[in-house]
């Protein structure tokens, strides 16, 4: 018996994910809750556990393919009668009752103990038939491939769903009508492919694409390779198909002298579609910039005393502490003193949060993300150091679980890593403020009545002017910076 592991609901309105890496292959044995695939949503990369034990019969897509929530991720054969997808014979019409029984959800055994949102341990009711083309093709929305499969005697519907097979057998007239409407060419033969359709883009088409090079070349040209009619086996999109589409798109442009000159001047331009996290970030930034009346204030701060304190602390304890950790500790103390900055604007009210969930802006290979350290108000310095260290370590790969990327109430941003002194950033909604740290550099500074060379950094603070006025923002900023320049003031707050 085969069981389908569907792509679960990843939460926060995310309805699709891209396959990043398969950790299993067809024929592998898997156990319950084994991590089998790594997928990337618009917000994070997550590893998904399979809720069944058995043999992997088929994979629902190749690396780079995008699946919607509810589509089959992989199929697991349970029991001694498990067969790989390529070995499964076409079912007889008499077997048409099996899918009906499975659709009821009856006779299903409990499986995984892992929590997958929107996914239980029952058999999938969302999709009971496998797509034509095996592991690399998802269900097509076009009528054309279905008609072709009737002509070649290998209908997607009848091969994957016995009930549909029985229906087709019981209605030969309907099948004949579909055959009559089908194209004369076979979908599996490149030699008989209809040249009129080669290179034509159709957004409703979902052709299989195996090669990352093919997918990338189409993306760089500004379209999705899946929207082409492939000339390879089972409609597989080949590199020649993409190049033919590019040539056709270019030939559709009127070859006037003026347009040719313009194209020559703009040679090298390319359209890069936004996808995944970049698309989400762009939308989030535009929304915040349009809705939030932000204001920014700056202070140049002598951080030499804090650097000296860090050195003394490390010598006394034998442990390491980063400057970011020490500043984060001061930020938490400042937010407890000025809770209005640890808040969110909510229409006709301001919500002051009881928890201080500190976001740390991080530039990762996947783009800008803000992982969150939750409940920092209850942490001591060592606990905060360890939590910040985990975020810094994970930023190298950009792989954060979804829960690590939500719930922030305030953001700390270190611009110094980019070699700049400061910025006026976009506020990370629904938060109300963000503190930025510029690069630390040697500067002449008035110190104890003399000019001395000191370690100085610029601190920039951006806040939502609907939440507070400049006075409250200035009080928070000076609370933090005063304790950087005079760490002994910390004792007054104990």
Q: Are 110 and 89 in contact (CB under 8 A)?
A: no
Catalytic site includes residue 465:
yes
Cα-flanking dihedrals φ and ψ of residue 256, to 5°? -85, 160
Other CB atoms closer than 10 Å to residue 150's CB: what's the count? 22
Are 90 and 62 in contact by the 8 Å Cβ rule? The answer is no
Task: Tally helices (H) and strands (E) across the chain.
Answer: 13, 19
Rounded to whole angstroms, what are the CA distances from 275 to 13, 48, 341, 418?
Answer: 16, 21, 33, 25
Catalytic residue among 227, 284, 311, 465: 465
| CA separation for the pair 198, 148 (Å, rounded) | 16
CA-to-CA distance for 483 and 490, rounded, in angstroms?
7
Asked if 321 and 381 count as a contact pair (C-beta separation under 8 A), the reply is yes
The residue among 95, 138, 90, 115 whose CA lies nearest residue 33 is 115
Continuous segment of H or E residues that includes residue 40: strand 35-40
Cα(175)–Cα(150) distance, integer angstroms: 7
Peptide bond preceding 430: is omega within 30 degrees of 0, i.e. cis? yes
Which residue numbers are catalytic? Answer: 465
């Amino acid at each position: 018996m085969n069981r389908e592991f569907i792509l679960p609901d990843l939460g926060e309105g995310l309805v699709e994910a891209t396959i990043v890496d398969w950790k299993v292959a067809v024929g592998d044995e898997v156990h319950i809750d084994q991590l089998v695939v790594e997928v990337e949503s618009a917000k994070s990369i997550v590893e998904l556990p399979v809720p069944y034990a058995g043999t992997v019969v088929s994979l629902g897509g190749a690396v780079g393919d995008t699946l919607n929530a509810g589509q089959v991720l992989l199929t697991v054969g349970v029991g001694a009668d498990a067969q790989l997808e390529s070995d499964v014979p076409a079912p007889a019409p008499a077997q048409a009752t099996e899918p009906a029984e499975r659709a009821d959800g009856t006779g299903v055994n409990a499986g995984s103990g892992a929590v997958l949102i929107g996914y239980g341990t029952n058999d999938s009711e969302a999709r009971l038939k496998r797509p034509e083309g095996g592991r690399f093709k998802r269900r097509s929305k076009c009528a054309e491939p279905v008609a072709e499969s009737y002509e070649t005697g290998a209908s997607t519907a009848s091969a994957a769903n016995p009930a549909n097979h029985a229906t087709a057998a019981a209605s030969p007239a309907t099948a004949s009508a579909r055959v009559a409407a089908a194209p004369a060419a076979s979908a599996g033969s490149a030699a008989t492919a209809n040249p009129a359709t080669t290179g034509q883009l159709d957004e409703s088409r979902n052709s299989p694409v195996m090669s990352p090079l093919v997918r990338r070349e189409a993306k760089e040209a500004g379209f999705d390779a899946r929207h082409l009619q492939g000339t390879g086996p089972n409609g597989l999109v080949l590199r020649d198909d993409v190049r033919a589409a590019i040539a056709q798109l270019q030939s559709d442009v009127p070859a006037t002298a003026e347009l040719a000159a313009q194209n020559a001047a703009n040679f090298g331009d390319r359209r890069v579609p936004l996808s995944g996290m970049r698309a989400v970030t762009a939308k989030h930034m535009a929304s915040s910039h349009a809705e939030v009346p932000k204001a920014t204030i700056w202070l140049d701060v002598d951080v030499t005393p804090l650097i000296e304190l860090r050195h003394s602390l490390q010598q006394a304890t034998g442990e390491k502490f980063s400057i970011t950790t020490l500043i984060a500790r001061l930020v938490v103390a400042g937010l407890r003193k000025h809770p209005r900055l640890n808040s969110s604007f909510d229409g006709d009210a301001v919500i002051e949060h009881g928890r201080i969930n500190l976001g740390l802006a991080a530039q990762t290979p996947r783009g800008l993300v803000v992982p969150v350290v939750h409940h920092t108000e209850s942490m001591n310095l060592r606990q905060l150091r360890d939590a910040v260290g985990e975020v810094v370590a994970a930023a190298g790969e950009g792989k954060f679980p979804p829960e690590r990327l939500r719930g922030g109430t305030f953001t700390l941003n270190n611009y110094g890593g980019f070699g700049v002194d400061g910025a006026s950033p976009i506020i990370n909604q629904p938060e109300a403020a963000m503190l930025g740290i510029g690069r630390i550099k040697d500067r002449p500074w008035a110190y104890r009545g003399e000019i001395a060379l000191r370690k100085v950094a610029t601190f920039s603070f951006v806040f939502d002017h609907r939440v507070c006025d400049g006075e409250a923002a200035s009080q928070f900023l000076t609370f933090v910076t005063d304790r950087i320049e005079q760490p002994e003031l910390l004792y007054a707050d104990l």
